[in-house]
Amino acid sequence: MKIALAQYNYHVGNFEGNTSKIIHGIEEAKKRNADLVVFSELAVCGYPSADLLEFEEYIHKSYESLEKIAAHCTGIAAVVGAPDKNQGPKGKPLYNAAFFLSNKKITRVFHKGLLPNYDIFDEYRYFEPANQFQVLEYKNKRIALTICEDLWNLNDNPLYLQNPMDKLYKQGVDLMINIAASPFSWNHIYERKSMLSQNAATYNLPMFYVNQVGAQTDVIFDGGSMVINPQGEIVKELASFEEDLSIVELSRTLSSEGSRPIPSQDTDQKNERIYKALILGVKDYFQKLGFTKAILGLSGGIDSAVTMVIAAEALGAKNVLGVLMPGQFSSDHSIQDAQELAENLGSPYHTIQITKTAHTFEQHLHPWFKDTDFNVAEENIQARTRAVYLMALSNKFGHVLLNTSNKSEAAVGYGTLYGDMCGGMSVLGDLYKTEVFELARYINRKKRIIPQNSITKPPSAELRPDQKDADSLPEYNILDPILFEYIENRKGPEALYSMGFEQTMVDRVLKLVNYSEHKRFQTPPVLRVSLKSFGAGRKMPIVAKYL
Amino acid sequence: MKIALAQYNYHVGNFEGNTSKIIHGIEEAKKRNADLVVFSELAVCGYPSADLLEFEEYIHKSYESLEKIAAHCTGIAAVVGAPDKNQGPKGKPLYNAAFFLSNKKITRVFHKGLLPNYDIFDEYRYFEPANQFQVLEYKNKRIALTICEDLWNLNDNPLYLQNPMDKLYKQGVDLMINIAASPFSWNHIYERKSMLSQNAATYNLPMFYVNQVGAQTDVIFDGGSMVINPQGEIVKELASFEEDLSIVELSRTLSSEGSRPIPSQDTDQKNERIYKALILGVKDYFQKLGFTKAILGLSGGIDSAVTMVIAAEALGAKNVLGVLMPGQFSSDHSIQDAQELAENLGSPYHTIQITKTAHTFEQHLHPWFKDTDFNVAEENIQARTRAVYLMALSNKFGHVLLNTSNKSEAAVGYGTLYGDMCGGMSVLGDLYKTEVFELARYINRKKRIIPQNSITKPPSAELRPDQKDADSLPEYNILDPILFEYIENRKGPEALYSMGFEQTMVDRVLKLVNYSEHKRFQTPPVLRVSLKSFGAGRKMPIVAKYL
């Protein structure tokens, strides 16, 4: 039996576009003599569809699309992910389902049993979990067809009370198929492969795994669909970060020839993966929204430089407009560094002096500010003045403003709300400052695109004389590990002390993070590349007494 | 048996504060010879605690607090809500639990079976649902102790597969106790009472219901705890929107004397309820964050007027600073109306002319704007200039900026991101414009606080000559009903046409709503008073093809 793995980039709610992609995949698989073609989880409507799933018409359109798709299933069968109405008298109105299409009809439907409801996942919001599982018979093969999380309950402390594969295995199975929408995190790829391999080996069955590719606002799906043999080795791996369709003969999984073991966890490819993921994230955000041009403030610093390189790669250098906005405290080298970057890329740039505008604000505020000391109010006026310029250009000419904040800044609230925290999308908001430096060095690995000075000079907001980030914040090599343990690993203060972090430093950092929740509440969507990014995956109260 | 209902205002994560409130309640109930005192759901940590529940130390602190509370349970027993660790090998790490404290110890623990996971609720994110339920025996009475949603599965199309009360009832029960954290919605109060009454009547048992009071950032809890007799009549109802402790003798529920039926759904009190809820929302946001002073832009329009009245009621008129910022297109009457409002309230106000500042921006942008037509770019410069002034005063003097947008504007994106959409909190963001008018008339019912002109003149943003909202938007009495059906009732376009709404109007409105998701993503927390407010309860994708 020849099985086609169809790894596509869907657009949430775009039934017409998704349907024609799926039909194209079926026709392509037919041409190449496949017996079965498999598409990813909720492919018909796109994943995640969020509350669009609560609209009757949305579900109706999904069924209509399935009918259109089924009409092409002659001489081939297809597995397609889509929501299915719960016909029973009890429970949530929908199931997360895999439809088996053959002979121009929906022949069978399979429901997801394990619904992730943590981090960015909220499937229990929409779906009823299945608790009965049946094998699919096709061409004399017995197939255990599961959906994404259904396979993720193998460990010693399972999150779910049931294990669908155990129930299916007892019915007699020849191969496993899993359709997924498993998002990218740079440090999660090993875990995913390892879990698939563990399943294949545990049940001694070949595994055909089809994942979604493409970005849906903040969440990036990397693809990387694969076939694994019963020894847990990789027989075939599809492309990452792009669409792919590949056909594997089931018999190929019977021998280890040409297969390779799961690579051990390596971080060598971290920067390459993150770079590709962010480019895809920017590209899909613009393409799927119908925009072509980006704008961003260029400070001469590393964050705006890395953001601009990624945007230029995603949209074309000519479509990325840098705006230099020197103020009273900007250094000459900042302006030079920013110009050099734009010229290296071949991107257009404008220069606007903000000093006079900031002074106009200060003059009008003088009746109340009087002789108060220069403080964060005056600093923020500069950052907000820049935002007004950027947004004015954006509104006039149709550019989307890219935010250039990094995760360390966002974490400790070192940024101006309605100032440098503005933007339609945060490109680097899930990378700690130390990771932004790594990425900059990766970008410059062959050729100097980012000026060396942007990488080597001490980071500064340049909002007061001779300001350095290190005046207000711990050094990033001290700050970032504390942030990582607090944010990614949910370690409280006592846990951090006992890990050896210095108590006053921990208290200072955690206070900054906790007191910035109100700021982060209003930030743009952050392209997610870690296992815990700011946004929907991290829900912290604004009004609370923190640990 | 005397049962005390202790309805308190908790602060999320403030274990010290919450514990001392609970201990105070126990001592008060003891003094008044109660046998049992009942506190609300997750009282010890506060509801909702969000991802703070994922911190080991948070759960540890909660158990420590329970020990302290239990030490006061001599001669009285207490029911207290708190998280409980799942000791089993499978499932989510926590249960949402009711602890029974007596003889200075945790004597028994009861787990919630029905976990709401819709709208603002995401309990499946943290908790494992219980599927076994046991009766509590105390002083020769058999008590069915349940937690909030556990009672909400009585209808014909139940959302959950099980019904805890059915399981408990079979064990023999004398009375029901339900501890809740049931948030306020102006049109939900009848439904809540009716559901409680239906439970009491169905099982022919008295019901003691204790709800949380107070606001947690955007979510307002109204209290209104109550005792219902087996006939489904109200025996006792505690205060709404404030703390209360009341003791009811169980035998009082045996007769209908002094009880009253559930009032039929009436909307008479709509404005009073909303007014009180919003005042509580503002008050708690400031008190729990430790702020005392608010600032807002006063346009002379109705939204800023109503916002200021609510803020003055919540914080004291002297603590609310209005800022008048006339621009090139502001009308004289707008300035007069704004001044009159501040003077009626006795609140301070400043006046800042923005014309010169806006012109400074335009001059610096001239090299690129050149002879382009005046459009949304220039309009937004004015709104954003105002935001910079407001935030500068906020940063300098420590006021929290209040946002004055209403739900109609927020829905159709009629507002400037980083301009009038700024603020630490949106006070009116869950009220349609027509509801803001109703509320203004309610506020003025006895005495004219809001200038009549602010209520009667046609709404205008005054960002271009002779601008009126009606130039860009449908009239609010046409717009708001469409928005209500689309947002609150999730009716898609086809459903709206068939309800009789005009097709081109529906298409126009829905397009505006859908294309504004990116703006709403960055708005401040909205005080929730309806069943579907913008914020965590409504998750719509930014990048999507909409219905």
Q: What is the pLDDT of residues A399-414, one digit of tens each?
A: 999 999 999 999 999 9
Whether B196 has a pLDDT exceeding 70, the answer reads: yes
First-last CA distance in chain B: 57
Tell whether the model's pLDDT for residue B3 goes beyond 80. yes
CATH 3.60.110.10 residue ranges in chain A? 2-266
| CB neighbour list of residue B508: distance below 8 Å, 6 or more residues apart | B474
pLDDT of residue B267: 64
B64 contact A CB<8A: no
Q: Pick the residue with more confidence: B254 or A216? A: A216
d(C-alpha B19, C-alpha A443), whole Å? 54
- Is the CB of residue A155 less than 8 Å away from at least one CB of chain B? no
Report the residue of B42, B90, B418 to disrupt the A interface, i.e. the one with the largest count of A CBs within 10 Å: B418
- Please provide the CATH number assigned to the domain covering B272-470: 3.40.50.620
Nearest to A492 among B55, B161, B367 (CB): B55
Q: Is A148 a catalytic residue?
A: yes
pLDDT at B217 over 80: yes
Q: Where are the beta strands (DSSP E) in A28-157?
A: 36-38, 77-85, 94-102, 105-111, 136-138, 141-147
CB contact under 8 A, B544 and A49: yes
In whole angstroms, give the CA distance from residue B133 to residue B166: 10
Is the CATH number of domain B2-258 3.60.110.10?
Answer: yes
What's the Rg (C-alpha) of chain B?
A: 26
What is the least distance, in Å, from the CA of B27 to any CA of chain A? 25
Please return the burial class of A75, using the count of CB atoms within 10 Å of its CB with bins 0-12, 13-18 and 19+: exposed
Q: Which chain B residues have a beta carbon less than 8 Å from that of A542? A: 217, 289, 525
Question: Do residues A256 and A147 lie in contact, with contact meaning Cβ atoms separated by under 8 Å?
Answer: no
Residue A351 at interface with chain B, using a CB cutoff of 8 Å: no
Q: What is the DSSP string of A331-359?
A: -HHHHHHHHHHHHHHT--EEE---HHHHH
Among A residues 428-487, those touching chain B with beta carbons less than 8 Å apart: none
Size of interface A-B (CB pairs under 8 A): 278
Name the segment(s) of chain B with CATH classification 3.40.50.620: 272-470
Residue range A430-474, pLDDT digits in tens:
999 999 999 999 999 999 999 999 999 888 888 898 888 888 899
- Asked if residues A204 and A186 have their Cβ atoms less than 8 Å apart, the reply is no
Indicate the pLDDT class of residue B189, thresholds 50, 70 and 90. confident
CB proximity B543 to A under 8 Å: yes
Contact criterion met (CB < 8 Å) for A388 and B392: no
The minimum CA-CA distance between B213 and chain A, rounded to whole Å, is 15
Average pLDDT over residues A242-261: 92
pLDDT confidence of residue B257: 84
pLDDT in tens, B345-385: 999 999 999 999 999 999 999 999 999 999 999 999 999 99
What CA–CA distances, in Å, run from A10 to A54, A61, A527?
19, 15, 17
Nearest alpha carbon to residue A208 among A104, A33, A79, A62: A79
- The mean per-residue pLDDT over the stretch A475-479 comes to 96
What pLDDT shows up at residue B506?
97
Q: What are the distances in angstroms from CA B151 to CA A310, B42, B106?
A: 52, 17, 24
Q: Which part of chain B is CATH 3.60.110.10?
A: 2-258
A284 and B543: CB-CB below 8 Å?
A: yes
Q: Which residues are A214's β-sheet partners?
A: A221
Chain B residues touching A11 at Cβ < 8 A:
543-545
**Measured distance CA(B494)–CA(B501) in Å, rounded:** 10
Q: Which residue, A140, A129, A148, is CA-closest to A172?
A: A140
Q: What confidence category does residue A229 fall into, taking pLDDT thresholds of 50, 70 and 90?
A: very high
Q: Quick one: fold of A2-266?
A: Nitrilase/N-carbamoyl-D-aminoacid amidohydrolase (3.60.110)
To the nearest whole percent, how much of chain B has pLDDT over 90? 92
The DSSP 8-state label assigned to residue A216 in this structure reads: E
- The reply to whether residue B418 touches residue A387, judged by beta carbons under 8 angstroms, is yes
What stretch of H or E contains B296? strand B294-297
Q: What percent of chain A has pLDDT over 90?
A: 92
- Burial zone of B351 (CB within 10 Å; 0-12 exposed, 13-18 middle, 19+ buried): middle
Per-residue pLDDT tens for A262-285?
887 766 799 999 999 999 999 999
**Looking at beta carbons, which residues of chain A come within 8 Å of B117?**
117, 122, 124-125
Is there a catalytic annotation at residue B41? yes
Contact residues, chain A, for B545 at CB < 8 Å? 11-15, 17
DSSP assignment of B494-528 equals HHHHHTT--HHHHHHHHHHHHTTHHHHTTSPPB-B
**Sign of the alpha-carbon torsion through A471, A477, A482, A484:** positive
pLDDT in tens, B290-339: 999 999 999 999 999 999 999 999 999 999 999 999 999 988 888 999 99
A41 is catalytic: yes
Nearest to A361 among B372, B392, B424 (CB): B392
List, in order, residues 6 or more apart from B383 with CB less than 8 Å away: B415, B416, B419, B420, B461, B463
Per-residue model confidence as pLDDT tens digits over A2-30: 999 999 999 999 999 999 999 999 999 99
In B117-235, which ranges are continuous DSSP H helix? 164-169, 189-203
B494 vs A contacts (CB less than 8 Å): 57
Between CA B518 and CA B526 the distance in angstroms is: 16
Residue A63's H or E segment, with its range, is helix A56-70
CATH architecture, domain defined by A272-469? 3-Layer(aba) Sandwich (3.40)
Average pLDDT, chain B: 96
Mapped onto helix, strand or coil, the DSSP state of residue A147 is strand
Q: Residue A471's pLDDT is what?
A: 86
Say which of A13, A391, A536 has its CB closest to residue B545.
Answer: A13
Contact A76, A45 (CB under 8 A): no
What pLDDT, on a 0 to 100 scale, did the predictor assign at position A267? 65
Output the CA–CA distances (angstroms, integers) from residue A446 to A443, B162, B352, in the order listed. Answer: 8, 62, 54
pLDDT band at B152 (very low <50, low <70, confident <90, very high): very high
Cβ–Cβ gap B284/A543 under 8 Å: yes
- For residues A70 and A104, the answer to whether their CB atoms sit within 8 Å is yes
Tell whether B396 lies on the interface with A, counting CB pairs under 8 A: yes
Q: Residue A128 has what pLDDT?
A: 98
Confidence of residue B470 (pLDDT cuts 50, 70, 90): confident
The partner residue sitting opposite A122, judged by closest CB among B122, B364, B546, is B122
Residues B67 and B4: their CA atoms lie apart, in Å, by: 21
| Helix or strand run (H / E) with residue B30 | helix B15-31
Shortest CB distance from A377 goes to which of B54, B395, B418? B395
Amino acid A246: pLDDT: 98
State whether B365 and A393 contact (CB < 8 Å).
Answer: yes
Q: Would you say residue A362 has pLDDT above 90?
A: yes
- Residue A210: helix, strand or coil by DSSP? strand
Neighboring chain A residues of B522 at a CB cutoff of 8 Å: 522-524
pLDDT in tens, B488-507: 999 999 999 999 999 999 99
A523/B523 CB distance under 8 A = no
What local confidence, expressed as pLDDT, does residue A547 receive?
A: 85
Whether the CB of B536 is below 8 Å from some CB of chain A: the reply is: yes
